[in-house]
Structure 1
Amino acid sequence: MADPVVVLEFGNEVPRRSFDGLLPPEVLERRVRIDPLGNPGLCANVEDIDAQAEYWVHRLDALPEPPRTVLAYCSGARLAASVAFRMNDARLVLFDPVSLTADTVQEVFVASVDTIAGGVPQDGVPFIADMPPDRALVTARSYIRKSALVAASDVPEDILNALIEKQSTWLAFTLAASSPKPWEKCPDHVFLSAGMSWEEHPGTDVKRFDISAVDLFHTNQVMHTLAPLLT
């Protein structure tokens, strides 16, 4: 019987990326999915990555067998590293991992404002990247709400609140993941699509594929390369 695996996937991502198409049937049956944005603590404040990892590991502890592999992609990589570290140093496999920075925080904030305002130009967007995380989130939430009320005054309040919470949760996760603290675990394997890079590390096996970030999740070559790492 295959060992359980944990996959970190963003459920609201468009286009959606999922490991399901790459996992052998016997592994897919024992796959446990985590949506990093599903932590309810992210709605109100910026929980650091350590606290987020503890939240998810506590839930994984209820499984009959501990997963021995953690898979993640993009900005979920750092949280996956902390989860794997706490699960008896489980194998960590990352697809197109990125290390978030203060610049990323500002970019996500500006994109959130643009989304919530329906593309209506906004003046005076605050620069939150150099603020303490909790202050940055409060400032961002206030500005996002202000922008939404101006651009979408006819939207029902419950729908508007849900949109604001969605954007705020994503921003809170980004703020936490952009911490300059060192990662708790280096990846064991990294899969990269065309144009992506990762700093070489003695303990990390880097595999490169001349395909797009989306195709990385839908290609037989990747599937066959990944399969031996899951046993």
Structure 2
Amino acid sequence: MNTIPSVVAVEFSSGSMARTFTRVMPPTIHSTCTTIDPLRQTDKVSSHSDIEARAVFWAEYLSDQEIQPNTVLAYCTGSPFALALARHIDAKQIVLFDPVHPTTSDVQEAFTELVAGVDSNVNLNALPCLSAMTTSDGIIFARDYLTEVTKRADLGLPDGIVEQLIAKQLSWLGYTVAASKAPTIENKELDITAILSNGVCTDIPSNQRESIPVSADRLLSAPETTTILAKLLGTTA
């Protein structure tokens, strides 16, 4: 009987949260780990999709894999997606690294930064609140607004390039909007452990936290992280 834990790692391949668990994954887990990217767009999910739709798509994908994961790993804002995915695949364990649930302010800040990056003369205080809209409506609005601002700024780029740039920006913004609307952590339903760098996660009880005295940017490369993760997974570091 194979007792090696099977893991699905939620990793963003692009954007400010691009990270990988490769450096802290116990060696025994590499062969049973599947990596998925909630930003990946297909014919079933897009930047307009909410967290539930993304979780359903990836749960169906995982159901076709030879090894069925029983543990979900996620970093920072990947946490809301990981929680939804875990429910759909009936995961026995979730390990969250510096978990963050995006807020309305985070969404508006992300949108504001995108607009300001194109045209600093825009009145950023007058921008509509994306969080007041549905995920789909918010991203459609953001797409149209960014397109208008880009054309007005006259950056001298071909239309095709402009469309590609905006689509890339909307990929991360769409996820942030969707994650901000996802349910918060519910400890009664799921077995959750948080591995934290120098910080505190108030959403998770203290007996479900593991703290490591390193900075956030070292959390996914520190040997101490591997040691704790191996212990949680019941394997060797």
Cα distance change on mapping 1:170 and 1:152 into 2, 3 Å: farther
- Residue 6 of structure 1 contacts residue 67 of structure 1 at CA under 8 Å; is this kept in 2? yes
- Residue 8 of structure 1 contacts residue 35 of structure 1 at CA under 8 Å; is this kept in 2? yes
- The aligned residue for residue 81 of structure 1 is 83
- The aligned residue for residue 61 of structure 2 is 59
The runs of 5 or more residues in structure 1 that have no matched partner are none
- Residue 193 of structure 1 contacts residue 210 of structure 1 at CA under 8 Å; is this kept in 2? yes
Distance 1:12 1:158 in 2: 20
Distance 1:44 1:130 in 2: 17
Distance 2:101 2:36 in 1: 19
Quote the RMSD (CA, aligned, Å). 2.3
Q: 1:27 aligns with which of 3, 21, 29?
A: 29
- Residue 8 of structure 2 contacts residue 73 of structure 2 at CA under 8 Å; is this kept in 1? yes
Q: 1:160 aligns with which of 162, 176, 181?
A: 162
1:207 aligns with 2:197: no
Deviation at 1:19, TM superposition (A): 0.6
Distance 2:30 2:182 in 1: 34
Deviation at 1:215, TM superposition (A): 0.3
C-alpha offsets along residues 123-157 of structure 1, whole Å, 9 cap, x if unaligned?
A: 24333232333322222111111222233531122
Q: 1:229 aligns with which of 212, 228, 232?
A: 232
- The aligned residue for residue 143 of structure 1 is 145
Equivalent residue letter for 1:191: I
- The aligned residue for residue 219 of structure 1 is 222
Distance 2:79 2:17 in 1: 18
Cα distance change on mapping 1:179 and 1:26 into 2, 3 Å: same
The runs of 5 or more residues in structure 2 that have no matched partner are none
1:122 aligns with 2:122: yes
- The aligned residue for residue 6 of structure 1 is 8
Deviation at 1:196, TM superposition (A): 4.1
1:198 aligns with 2:202: yes
Percent of aligned pairs with the same residue?
Answer: 30
Deviation at 1:48, TM superposition (A): 2.3
C-alpha offsets along residues 152-173 of structure 1, whole Å, 9 cap, x if unaligned?
A: 5311222211111111122221
- Residue 82 of structure 1 contacts residue 183 of structure 1 at CA under 8 Å; is this kept in 2? no
Q: Secondary structure at the match of 1:38?
A: coil
Q: Secondary structure at the match of 1:92?
A: strand
C-alpha offsets along residues 78-129 of structure 1, whole Å, 9 cap, x if unaligned?
A: 11011111222331000011112222211111122234x1x63422433323
Distance 2:103 2:61 in 1: 29
Distance 1:226 1:199 in 2: 20
TM-score by length of 1: 0.87
1:188 aligns with 2:209: no
TM-score by length of 2: 0.85
Distance 1:91 1:24 in 2: 16
- The aligned residue for residue 115 of structure 2 is 113
